[in-house]
Amino acid sequence: MLMPKRVKWRKQMRGRMSGHETRGTELDFGEYGLQALEPGWLTQRQIEAARRALVHSMKRRGKIWLRIFPDKPITIKAAETRMGKGKGAVDHWVAVVKPGRIIFEVGGLPEDAAREALRLAAFKFGLKTKMIAKIEATGAKE
């Protein structure tokens, strides 16, 4: 499962998820994408489950781009432990997602197949998402 190889600090504070995403909100690689509409934490297990659902549904066609990475450690105190005595041990890793973030991008397959694959992948996340398609790129230069 996805997790960082090296980190600067072993444990983090929870943080806040106010506002919407300002980066990673446009399709940069594929033709279709899954966009988050709510803020939340996506765990490494959820991301892996969604990726497998995509791979299974795409039946060896097309290509997948994962646009998030679980780099936030979540700690949990051991069961039947009294409060205090410091922060618990790292249990799993999550990716912080805010509204507007593109989670997955897919390309190289027909729209109906992409739509179905992303629909199945979206069930693995506990937040509202929508599918978006690429609109003509612009890029005139001097």
Answer for which of 61, 87, 88, 110 binds other proteins (CB under 8 A) is 61
The span of 16-24, 78-86, 113-121 binding other proteins (CB under 8 A) equals: 16-24
Answer for which of 17, 55, 113, 127 binds other proteins (CB under 8 A) is 55
Question: One symbol per residue from 75 to 104: x for binding other proteins (CB under 8 A), - otherwise; what is it?
Answer: --------------xxxxx-----xx----
Residue type, 21: E
Distance CA 82, CA 35 (A): 41
Helix 44-58, helix 111-122: angle, nearest 10? 150
**In the complex, least distance from residue 31 CB atom to other proteins, rounded to whole angstroms:** 9
Distance CA 62, CA 116 (A): 13
Q: Is 10 in the site for other proteins (CB under 8 A)?
A: yes
Q: Is 39 in the site for other proteins (CB under 8 A)?
A: no
Ramachandran bin of 103, using left for φ above 0, alpha for ψ from -120 to 50, beta for the remaining angles: alpha
